[in-house]
Chain A
Amino acid sequence: MTFVSIRDLRVAFDGVQVLHGVDLDIRQGEAVGLVGESGCGKSVTWLAALGLLPGKAKVSGSVRLDGQELVGAPRPAIEKVRGKRIAMIFQDPSSSLNPVQRVGKQIMESLRLHRGLKGRDARAEAIRLLDMVGIPSAATRVDLYPHEFSGGQCQRIMIAMALAGEPDLLIADEPTTALDATIQAQILDLLGTIRRETGMAMVFISHDLGAVSVVCDRAVVMYAGRIVEANNIRSLFSAPRHPYTAGLFAAIPDIDADRGRLVPIHGTVPDPKNLPTGCAFSPRCPRATAFCQTDRPHLRPQSGGGDVACFQPVAAPKAFPALRQEALA
């Protein structure tokens, strides 16, 4: 059942279009990975959906949550959605917590707001949540300030705060990018556990395909403000169809293969002020034809499943390195 339905979402900053019509459905309880380079619009999509972009951003299109339109909705209506229906955690956990407020108080604020818990009840619940996200001796550390926790622990606290509203959907905006590799794995593990236990849906925004494969059922690849490919994790990893997706995989080192140069995607992400005509990826695309430089492909369902926006998709399933097979199994 579709829970959030985004249609033709467009965002412009100071007249520069950064999101060019995104269509995306999130079903109840599913985990979707949103993948792409920095600036491709993956975070902007959700910040726009929740009305968290600064005032100068122009947002159009539609974001429906259980039929309720969020784009252009009055502020009180959106405030009821934030934290309660859709919660969000961010990339830099240490600066995402208010430095001058005790972490317990910040969690209790959400509990009061969304569940009406106050005083001792709120405190007990905050401690339970901290305990659940794996903060050791939560009962005593509930009164500490954010700077007294490590980055990984701050992200756990952010997750506890997000869970306080018992949301139906958690948007995790690059939650592990700022963390050490070992801590990343712990946070991914925690997110997986929580999702199993609560059954909430999750959108996992990341440029790390490996992380996405661990947490998500389905992945959506974005490039220059558009979705270029969407498929379930297994198909996307075994047979990427869009040349950009294929390029992303080719740029990941394979631990089992002989040592050799990685294959980079040549060129750089286009400037949103100055997008190429036709397919935005065509200047960097090894498969581009003259047609690709004049016409823009739309996202189309493919016979083998999944959606791709490309005139020259990578054809047959090729043998790709067995990426994180253990995680997919």
Chain B
Amino acid sequence: MLVWSKSGRIATWAVAVPLFLLIYGLPIGVIVLASVSGQWNDILPTKLTLAHYSDAFRADSFDALKGSLVTGVVASGAALVCGTWAALALRKMKPVPRRILDLFFFIPSAVPSVSIGLGLLVAFSQPPLLLNGTKMIVLIAHFVLISAFTYGNVTAGLSRLPIDCEQVAESLGARPFYRLRRVTLPLLAPYLIAAFSLSFALSMGELGATVMVYPPGWVTLPVRIFSLSDRGAIFDAATMATILGAATLLVLIGLSRISTKAMVR
């Protein structure tokens, strides 16, 4: 306890709690409120409606929701396979090449997303790989952007793994693939789930690379929210934003439940 007097503590809270609510509570509150407002010409909305929500599950907005979910699942799944593979392969290497390659797998997280999008646009608009205008290029952009985070999470998990289980399995004569499938991966499962949920959340919110590369038929939620708010449909934008936030949080909470269960087991 840093402040001992009761009045001092109350004074500190009287500043900190409203400040905290103003910074983090209010923005979330107004987006949710705006998502159900029919009319907002006064200080607070004068009419509430659920019409924006029924619009959200129709036509373009619904396509964007589907697009985001599919992109998130596919890109995170691919990043998980690639990141786990890389992390497992690097574990057995000598320190120096290992540190260099480790840095290499982290670098995509340091490059601005718009530049990654531009690079893909330039690279895949010319032979030998013509992908511009396909949904594949959106998936690739998301994969590249989240791969470093997946790799980082799995590596962190591997370093916390009890090493003796694997050694016991090895000394009992388990072959490498069997050991990987029956010992290492199950032990790693909570970290794999955590890695997947983080990359899914990142993919759901990705905007910079997506606006650079998305083809007309494959819009994601952030792009849709931007085009709605850009043309002044801010209530609809707020509704889609609420859905985006809620979907992300639901997946995060759901997966963290599963991963805690796996951890206990």
User: Do A and B bind?
Assistant: no
